[in-house]
Structure 1
Amino acid sequence: MDQGNTAFVLICAALVLLMTPGLAFFYGGLVKAKSVISMMMMSFGAIGLIGVLWVVFGYAIAFPSGKGLIAPWTIDWSAIGLNSLLEVPKGAAYPPLAFVAFQATFAIITVALVSGAIADRARFGSWMVFAGIWATVVYFPVASWVFNFGLNKDGSYAYGGWVTKGLQDMLGVGAIDFAGGTAVHINAGAAGLALALVLGRRIGFQKGADVPHNPPFVLLGAGLLWFGWFGFNAGSELGADGTAAIAFVNTLAAPAAALLSWLVMEKIRNGKPTSVGAASGAVAGLVAITPACAALTPIWAVVLGLLAGAVCQLAIDLKFKLGFDDSLDVVGIHLIGGIIGTLYLGFFANGTGLIYSGSFAQLAAQALAAGAVLVYSFVLALVIGFVVQKTMGFRVKDEDEIAGLDTVVHGEEGYVLIGARV
């Protein structure tokens, strides 16, 4: 066993786990002051719930013994509870449980990302029920489609999901998704869109009606996300080597470029570059580079960042034009950013992209992967959200939304200032 690689994987897992509290600050700063606790609790609730489900059965579903679509006969039933993974196979670079821990943090933040679409109007208990069902029937299977590593006899891991291995058998190239552009961002973005439609619009929904109550929280959250994202992307190599290094550099370059292009677009469109815009631009670049971080040269990563920042800045206005209330722009940043990063590889992926190979095969693989995840997640999230709304009630009452979810749902206030009104 390689202790260096073991340490690398475990440290990267800790970095990715930090991203969810970072997301809580990012989302928390964007909502109303009287809903900040409610918003942050949806992220922390995901840590607790998905952390337990992953250990009990999530890993067994996401990394089955079969190589195709999830089915009862392909689930690794011996991995239920993880007891079968306690021993380290001979020749393995790191303990199987290190990989389990790393992938658990991906499941947690993917679920937490969805919550941004329904800020200011969702019941916490109903959110937790939705999160558990959606993780089970959507995220865990989709993770298998993309990340399904099979353990070889020598202890090494090999791809086996249909998005990678299956499309390679069909098209000659598999879809490239190094760290989760489809499984995490398109998946969460599609689910967020579905829930936004189920819960409907907030009271008084219109452009400019709701402004972030705490931009410093937004910047802090973006900084923590960016810090953790180095573990997210570079860690997906599962080893401290040259591929991890290029993923690390691209995780710096793309969001930096996206931050700049977002601010330029803000200046052109609104007259002023904002701190929230800087944070949002960085996150858009991080989303776009996630699937592509190990398959691009740094200069193409910069170009991707410039593209993602500009396009996502425009995309956040789609909700006003189309009439769906995606509170914190999960669709505009994660769904659109994930699609951009995934399809971009069809043109610029090292060796297999159109400009290198002259073939559209890689683009076709990327489009099939993105489309399949988008449709699967959207349809099932719509059904699950609708059932939860009709049975338990997903949206709070109008009077509770106006009063603020912190006191109504959690009995707490985010800011208790003596002699001042918040």
Structure 2
Amino acid sequence: MIPNSPIRADRIAADIDALAAITEPDRPWTRRAFTPMFLEGRAWLEHAMQAAGAVSQIDHAGNLVGVVPGRNPALGSIMIGSHSDTVPDGGRFDGIAGVVVALEVARALRDQGVVLDHTLEVVDFLAEEVSIFGVSCIGSRGMSGTRPAEWLARTHDGVTLERAIAQVGGVPHALAQRDDIKAFLELHIEQGPVLQNEQLDVGVVTAIAGITRIEIIVEGRADHAGTTPMAARKDALTTAAWIALGVEELGKALASGETHFAATVGEFEMTPNAANVVPARVRMLIDARAELRDDMERFIDELARGVAAIADKTGVSVQAPRIVSDNQPTPCDPDLLIVLDAACESAGARHRRMASGAGHDTAWMARITKAAMIFVPCVDGRSHAPDEFATTEDIALGAQVLLDAVIALDKQLQETE
């Protein structure tokens, strides 16, 4: 850490340990949105926000927000934070690090006697991870006015999402887009190995990859596995295997440049799935992620041509690839990237620019304000797993970068406005 820095690594470590301890007893580190454990974690965060000098409140979308008034509230807010909910069995740092660092920035400003001109808001977004209702980023979509109205009717164990948002303190139908947030910054663990492998301290995130999911259905013919000649088979699995290998090859080709691209056959269903029957049908779901939309368009086009060629070669029918969902990439604000680069330099953090292959609340906040992210390393790139880990030193250095960026933004935003 920087000598005489107001950022205290011991407070960060204690906060992360305290939140991590609030978990399903037999499933560390599990605290899913809308569950009793999540509400217990929220209560802890609310107390921590108040101790940091913030006024805590639940907004209409169900987000927990700690507000530290600025000298000139008419200027609007600078918002920092992330999410405290987890995936099952893994989430000691994912999201939590960003919320805790936002708290530490508020405490560091208080300890120095610094009052920003803008209001500072520390946010814990509701349900960034895929929730028990099957949807994600519920809070940031609500704050940005982009949460689909039909989501409120989704149910889990007889409870609607509408009721669940109300139970955490939100007002489900009062969907309103915030227009007073002038900038949003989020710290997050990288969830990948790049920073560790390159021995860097911080990643300045240039964009959040767009995610496209594509379904492919292969229709073969069920036959006796012992009596049907090899040359006479319509084996859906063999054809699907050729397609899966093609997806990997095409993904590697698109990932060979300077921008981020990844493609994965993440779901695979085969029927009748019996040892003595030639596979009759395979359903595949491809998850493709691109920093640049042009790369995704190329992937979709070349995938369709490749699938058609494989079907011609094997003689097995393959339905044309069907796009199930398609989200555009979200570039981070270029002005904020410059501020974050400068903050890394002032903090002495070795850094690089990089894209995020994972989705984040920042992507939805970018719909309504200037938004950007920084990554800190996580050990071996592991995330969404019980052994997910990031060192306190790395997180604290990221907190210093965030603090320096907030102070710089407080002045710069006034100049640009």
TM norm structure 1: 0.27
Larger relative helix fraction: 1
Q: Larger C-alpha radius of gyration, 1 or 2?
A: 2
Larger relative strand fraction: 2
